[in-house]
């Protein structure tokens, strides 16, 4: 199937309906069936087939791994929507969007939405939810052939504890309207939000394409990572076989175990979803342990592999040629040098790293997909990012670079105190330059800080994302002094104004979103102070991009001096600006506490007041290039 370029994303992320065209163009001959044979019904049909048996078949023999998977967000990636699984408020809530009314309710355990206006509403059953970690989205069934779904245009935000318009939960221009697409879940979302999906493309007598999706299991289940289990279950009904395998400790060839695969094949198990790729056919054919590129085009940026498009199949090559003419598509996924700039595509980043190309790093070097027996964390804490025991710190890197485990050697390498966040390998080599689900994410293309890349590409570097009060010139000079990086020619602003301030004021929407998050990041606040950041966060509260406003709000609301302050990032300009005025009044009342020496790099005088002329000039230079980030 042609999914995987965007996990939460959809056709609008790359613009011009590229996603739909890719799905149609990459279908293998014979991949569609006659529409007359398609069964009707609400929601995708859970129907294990082609050797898939479902996770319940694993539980009796593997109770521990089954229990940790059950506690993970992989399991709840997609669920049948009921009162028990829904996080959102369905107690008669009325929502409005673009002149349409949506009334949410329930009858027993079943959920529904009434759409329209009082007296002329239609009721539709809500049958599916996707997500559960930060946000949860919902899908309702519509009449007609096949199992077609429409997305409820509101998400439930766990961070805010409220409904928010779905189109505001993505980083995209405010004027964009999400197109209504009854096949979106089938051709895009099911690929990474369910196990062994078959979109069931059907061609009607009129030549129209229709979807009738089946899945082996909702969510990311055991067989998504281990492959179809029918043969494994049948063979291991024999206790003598199980005992022999236990004694031999050589693994079981009837099932895939990512830990027993090479670092390439192991990582591709994750890359089938956490990578930028197009499957060759509508029906998923990849099985864990296979070479992913036998089943999909694993996209690489032209700067990373200029010949990559030429190795694709002829019709896929034509698609690449089309995409090359659409810079919006590439910029929705990559920084200008090919570093991934969106979340959920960690495999695409990691496979470009020297640690992968010249070493043997894999996803499992740092992550554990089942909570280990010696893990002292609560299951919910482990499930947050499924980092393995001990891999939250520098042990993740010193397992391959043991010399740097010694504090003196680490301090000499980082030029920071060994116990500080400046000596945390992740912070320098995996900085928060990716964006998704309204927050910053660590890059998985393991790299070193570079002021040149910040100057040329606009990508924040690790130094200035922590030292928010320092200029790009300060960083460039330090990198030259410490690591002999070539000296840089920089503009006056880059020498005199803090890089974070420049990105917050005149950066594009992606840069502004990263800064809104960085201003609330605890290590950055410790390194740079936090008394000045509200001024820039309040500026970002009125950003034209809803996601930037959302993140700025989260970074500001937990400060003690803003306790009880109320702000709605989705409200109209008048209401937003009233809330911003109240926030500014609170901040100005604390002016004497901020008095001290002038901080020209932050545009602040000795009283903590901003330089209005320079501030207005930089804000007027804001990069308003339309940004769509295809999370």
Contact status, residue 516 vs residue 504, Cβ threshold 8 Å? yes
Residue 175 has pLDDT above 90, yes or no: no
- pLDDT classification of 327: cutoffs 50, 70, 90: confident
The confidence band for 25, taking pLDDT boundaries of 50, 70 and 90, is very low
List 387's β-bridge partners, or say none. Answer: 367
Instruction: Decide: 348 and 54 in contact? Cβ < 8 Å.
Output: no
Please report which confidence band the pLDDT of residue 176 belongs to, taking 50, 70 and 90 as the band edges: confident
| pLDDT for residue 180 | 82
Q: Which long-range contacts (CB under 8 A, 24 or more apart) does 94-103 make?
A: 95/154, 95/163, 97/153, 97/154, 97/165, 98/177, 102/152, 102/153, 102/154
Cα separation, 431 vs 502, whole angstroms: 18
> Rounded mean pLDDT of 97-115?
95
Dump the DSSP string for 307-350: TGGGGS-HHHHHHHHHHHT-HHHHHTTB-TTS-B-BTT-HHHHH
Residue 530 has pLDDT above 80, yes or no: yes
The model's pLDDT over 415-474, given as tens digits with 9 standing for 90+, comes to 999 999 999 999 999 999 999 999 999 999 999 999 999 999 999 999 999 999 999 999
Between 591 and 399, the higher pLDDT residue: 399
At 299, the pLDDT band (50, 70, 90 cuts) reads confident
pLDDT, one tens digit per residue, over 444-461 is: 999 999 999 999 999 999
The Cβ-side half-sphere exposure at 141, using a 13 Å CA radius, reads 22
pLDDT level of residue 310 (50, 70, 90 thresholds) = low
Q: What's the token pair of residue 303?
A: 């700067």
Tokens of 511: 């840069």
Q: Is 458 exposed, middle or buried (0-12, 13-18, 19+ CB in 10 A)?
A: middle
Local confidence band at 15 (pLDDT 50, 70, 90 cut-offs): very low
Mean pLDDT score, 493-521: 98
Pairing of strands 439-441, 78-80: unpaired
Residue with tokens 């290039």: 625
Task: Give φ, ψ of 377 to 5 degrees.
Answer: -75, 155
Residues 6+ apart with CB under 8 A from 134: 157, 158, 159, 437, 438, 439
529 pLDDT band (50/70/90 cuts)? Answer: very high
Question: 337 near 344, Cβ under 8 Å?
Answer: no
High-pLDDT (> 70) share of the chain, %: 90
Judge whether 14 and 630 are in contact, CB under 8 Å.
yes
* Mean pLDDT for all residues in the chain: 88
Question: What is the average pLDDT across 524-544?
Answer: 95
pLDDT band at 10 (very low <50, low <70, confident <90, very high): very low
Q: Average of pLDDT values for 563-567?
A: 93
244-248, 299-303, 326-330, 430-434 — most confident range: 430-434
8 pLDDT tier (thresholds 50, 70, 90): very low
Question: Looking at residue 490, what is its pLDDT?
Answer: 98
Residue 365 has pLDDT above 80, yes or no: yes
When pLDDT is cut at 50, 70 and 90, the band that residue 3 belongs to is very low
Q: pLDDT digit string (tens) for 135-145? A: 999 999 998 77
How high is the pLDDT of residue 320? 66
The pTM is what?
Answer: 0.91
The pLDDT of 585-589, averaged and rounded, is: 88
Task: Find out whether 124 and 142 touch, Cβ atoms under 8 Å.
Answer: yes
Domain layout of the chain by residue ranges? 11-224+260-329, 449-631
Is it the case that residue 567 has pLDDT exceeding 80? yes
* pLDDT at site 579: 97
Rg over CA atoms, the chain? 26
Residue with tokens 């804000």: 619
Cα separations in angstroms, 186 against 179, 437, 584: 15, 21, 46
- pLDDT tens digit string along 36-80? 333 335 778 898 889 999 999 999 999 999 999 999 999 999 999
Average pLDDT over residues 284-294: 92
DSSP 8-state code for residue 189: I
Q: Say whether pLDDT at 22 is over 80.
A: no
Residue count (the chain): 631
Question: Residue 315: its pLDDT value, please?
Answer: 60
């Amino acid at each position: 199937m042609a999914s995987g370029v965007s996990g939460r994303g959809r056709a609008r992320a790359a613009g011009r309906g590229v996603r739909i065209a890719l799905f149609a163009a990459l279908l293998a001959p014979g991949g569609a069936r006659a529409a007359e044979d398609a069964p009707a019904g609400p929601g995708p049909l859970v129907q294990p087939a082609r050797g898939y048996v479902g996770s319940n078949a694993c539980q009796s023999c593997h109770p521990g791994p089954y229990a940790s998977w059950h506690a993970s967000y992989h399991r709840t990636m997609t669920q049948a929507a009921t009162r028990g699984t829904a996080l959102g408020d369905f107690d008669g809530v009325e929502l409005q969007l673009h002149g349409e009314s949506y009334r949410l309710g329930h009858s027993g355990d079943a959920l529904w939405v009434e759409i329209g206006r009082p007296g002329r509403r239609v009721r539709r059953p809500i049958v599916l939810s996707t997500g559960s970690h930060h946000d949860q989205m919902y899908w309702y069934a519509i009449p007609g052939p096949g199992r077609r779904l429409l997305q409820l245009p509101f998400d439930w935000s766990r961070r805010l504890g409220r409904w928010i318009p779905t189109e505001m939960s993505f980083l995209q221009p405010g004027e964009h309207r999400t197109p209504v697409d009854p096949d979106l879940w089938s051709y895009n979302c099911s690929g990474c939000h369910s196990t062994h999906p078959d979109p069931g493309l059907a061609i009607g007598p009129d030549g129209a394409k229709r979807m009738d999706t089946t899945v082996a299991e909702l969510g990311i289940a055991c067989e998504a990572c281990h492959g179809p289990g029918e043969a494994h279950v049948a063979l291991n009904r024999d206790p003598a076989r199980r005992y022999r395998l236990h004694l031999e400790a050589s693994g079981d060839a009837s099932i895939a175990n990512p830990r027993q695969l090479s670092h390439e094949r192991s990582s591709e198990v994750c890359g089938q979803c956490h990578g930028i790729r197009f499957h060759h056919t509508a029906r998923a054919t990849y099985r864990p342990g296979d070479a992913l590129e036998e089943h999909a085009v694993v996209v690489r940026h032209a700067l990373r592999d200029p010949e990559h498009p030429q190795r694709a199949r002829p019709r896929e090559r034509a698609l690449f040629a089309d995409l090359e003419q659409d810079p919006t598509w590439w910029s929705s996924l990559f920084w200008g040098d090919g570093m991934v700039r969106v979340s959920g595509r960690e495999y695409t980043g990691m496979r470009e790293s020297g640690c992968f190309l010249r070493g043997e790093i894999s996803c499992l070097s740092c992550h554990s997909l089942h909570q280990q027996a010696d893990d002292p964390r609560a299951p919910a804490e482990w499930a947050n990012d499924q980092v393995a025991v001990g891999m939250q710190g520098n042990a993740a890197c010193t397992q391959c670079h043991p010399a740097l485990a010694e504090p003196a050697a680490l301090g000499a390498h980082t030029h920071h105190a060994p116990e500080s966040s400046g000596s945390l390998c992740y912070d320098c080599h995996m900085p928060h330059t990716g964006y998704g689900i309204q927050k910053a994410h660590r890059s998985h293309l393991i790299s070193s800080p570079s002021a040149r890349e910040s100057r040329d590409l606009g990508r924040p570097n690790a130094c200035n994302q922590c030292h928010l009060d320092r200029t790009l010139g300060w960083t460039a000079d330090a990198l030259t002094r410490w690591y002999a990086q070539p000296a840089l020619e920089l503009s006056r602003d880059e020498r005199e104004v803090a890089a974070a301030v420049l990105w917050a004021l005149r950066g594009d929407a992606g840069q502004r979103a990263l800064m809104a998050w960085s201003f609330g990041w605890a290590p950055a606040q410790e390194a740079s102070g936090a008394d000045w950041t509200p001024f820039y966060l309040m500026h970002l509260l009125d950003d034209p991009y809803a996601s930037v406003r959302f993140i700025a709000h989260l970074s500001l609301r937990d400060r003690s001096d803003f306790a009880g302050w109320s702000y709605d990032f989705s409200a109209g300009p008048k209401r937003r600006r009233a809330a911003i005025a109240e926030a500014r009044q609170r901040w100005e009342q604390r002016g004497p506490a901020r008095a001290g020496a002038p901080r020209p790099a932050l545009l602040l005088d000795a009283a903590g007041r901003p330089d209005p002329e320079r501030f207005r000039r930089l804000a007027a230079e804001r990069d308003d290039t339309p940004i769509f980030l295809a999370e």
